[in-house]
Chain A
Amino acid sequence: MAEPIRLKTPLTDNDVEGLNMGDRVLINGIIYTGRDAAHKRLYDLLNEGKELPFDIRGQIIYYVGPTPAKPGQVFGSAGPTTSYRMDAYAPALIEKGLKGMIGKGMRSDAVKEAMKKGKAIYFAATGGAGALLAKKVKKAEVVAYEDLGPEAIRRLEVEDLPVIVINDVRGNDLYIEGEKRYRKG
């Protein structure tokens, strides 16, 4: 297997265009967390024509709701949640400049189309590997919606967070291609 590609956030169009379905990537820098409830709030803000609580341009949102950090831990267990629940909100965020999403599970056609148009990438992290992924988080702070508890938006500083490119900007989908390659009969 090819060596993983190191990427530094925020992402540029160039970064994104250089990625291909199946690439293993190590993400470094700042990323933001957000899942169901936070996405609904971001979406409502956009519909009301209001500013988002952070500058989303070039950023990556990680679909995760961590466990509380134990004393001595930077961050609690933090694997991805299933992404399709964010499908209704993702295209609007991509239109505002979001460049990457980390989650697990297949995206809708509308999201895939928005990714092609807005040049954004969908990465998967290993679902259920929460203890391992937590170790890649070096700093964490809540930036919005503290009342949502595990669903609050957090700014994370990550070092070599391991992900895989599922959807690239050319419309390829590793879930579809991977299954095809190994299907029997």
Chain B
Amino acid sequence: MREIDVKLITEKVRSLCIEANTDLGEDVLEAFDRAIQQEESPLGVEILKELKENARIAREEKVAICQDTGFAVVFVEWGQDVHLIGGGLKEAVDEGVRRGYREGYLRKSICHPFTRANTGDNTPAILHTEIVPGDRVKITVAPKGGGSENMSRVVMLTPSDGVEGMKRYVVQRVKESGSNPCPPTIVGVGIGGTFEMAALLAKKSLLRPLGTKNPDSDLNRLEMEILEEINRLGIGPQGLGGRTTSLAVHILMMPCHIASFPLAVNIQCHAQRHKEVVI
């Protein structure tokens, strides 16, 4: 059985936290370029150019793209033939977050819900683990900002609401969010499963690179239809009016209970940050 030391996990998480927060993905930059071509609002074009320039500065100077360096959401796919030695996974991940946020000069944004006292080191991380076949470990760090997370919702629709009800809810959520979540956004949609699974699906859908198609052709068509409707709303970059309210809609779906129709909408700001590594 392959062995991995917890120290390696900590080191990888540390680096991924810094990388994700300072180096915006090429897929997002390309999406900005496409939006600049299509945007009708002159002010909207200015904003999109500013976002590109901001990403360039962050990458070159290795500083945070956005001051909200987020909750550290960590996805671990653990190969079942790998044995972790030297400590626990949760502790190793938290230590990686602690070091990454300290050494990367990232903001510590996690606090007690009532007293609002800051934990001081951006821990705990949100850790999602999945046991998979094989002897590899894949770690993804996806820092999530508070502004766009606040605009996200889970709703238990009724089966009679159907596809149209689902579309209406998603578009309405984006409309009501307006300028708050830093448009242009990426809209993560989780459909089916249970209450908590719908939310997790929505979050996971955001990890798909921008500009790639949903492998399910029906869902791909739905994504296009919803995106078109969203971009007719007129909210535009930063909510100042324009065509580019969202860069993409991503859907993940699974079966649900015969009584239910769970739907989650996880709004992601334009600083769509995630980095991964396979050990």
A178 interfacial contact with B, CB 8 Å: yes
A82 interfacial contact with B, CB 8 Å: yes
Q: Per-position contact with A for B23-38: 1 when CB-CB < 8 Å, else 0?
A: 0000000000000000
Q: A64-B67, A106-B180 are in contact. Are A181 and B238 (CB under 8 A)?
A: no
Contact A149–B108 (Cβ < 8 Å):
yes
Residues of B within 8 A of A128 (CB): 51, 54, 65-66, 182, 269-271
Q: A104-B182, A164-B43, A183-B232 are in contact. Are A82 and B150 (CB under 8 A)?
A: yes
Tell me the B169-207 residues at the A interface (CB within 8 Å).
Answer: 178-182
Q: A127-B238, A182-B41 are in contact. Are A150 and B108 (CB under 8 A)?
A: yes
Which B residues are within 8 Å of any A CB, using their own CB?
Answer: 40-43, 46-47, 50-51, 53-55, 57-58, 61-69, 105-109, 116, 118, 120, 146-147, 150, 178-182, 232-236, 238-243, 269-271
Cα A46 to Cα B276 with chains together (Å): 48
Contact A1–B105 (Cβ < 8 Å):
no
Q: Per-position contact with B for A125-160: 1 when CB-CB < 8 Å, else 0?
A: 011111110110000000000001111000000000
Contact B105–A179 (Cβ < 8 Å):
no
The chain A residue with its CB closest to the CB of B271 is: A128
Interface residues of A toward B: which range? 35 or more
Chain B interface, DSSP helix/strand/loop, else mixed: loop
A168 interfacial contact with B, CB 8 Å: no
Residues of A within 8 A of B270 (CB): 128
Residues of A within 8 A of B67 (CB): 64-67, 76-79, 130, 150
Q: A66-B107, A128-B269 are in contact. Are A178 and B182 (CB under 8 A)?
A: no
Residues of A within 8 A of B179 (CB): 104-106, 124, 175
Q: Which of A65, A130, A149 is in CB contact (< 8 Å) with B65? A: A130
Residues of A within 8 A of B107 (CB): 65-68, 76-77, 150
Q: Which of B53, B54, B233, B234 counts the most A-chain CB atoms under 10 A from its CB?
A: B54
A37 interfacial contact with B, CB 8 Å: yes
Sampled A-B contacts (27; CB under 8 Å): A67-B67, A67-B69, A67-B105, A68-B105, A70-B63, A70-B105, A73-B63, A78-B67, A82-B150, A106-B180, A127-B66, A129-B50, A129-B51, A129-B53, A129-B54, A130-B54, A130-B58, A130-B64, A130-B66, A130-B67, A149-B118, A150-B67, A175-B239, A178-B41, A178-B43, A178-B240, A182-B40
Contact B116–A37 (Cβ < 8 Å):
yes
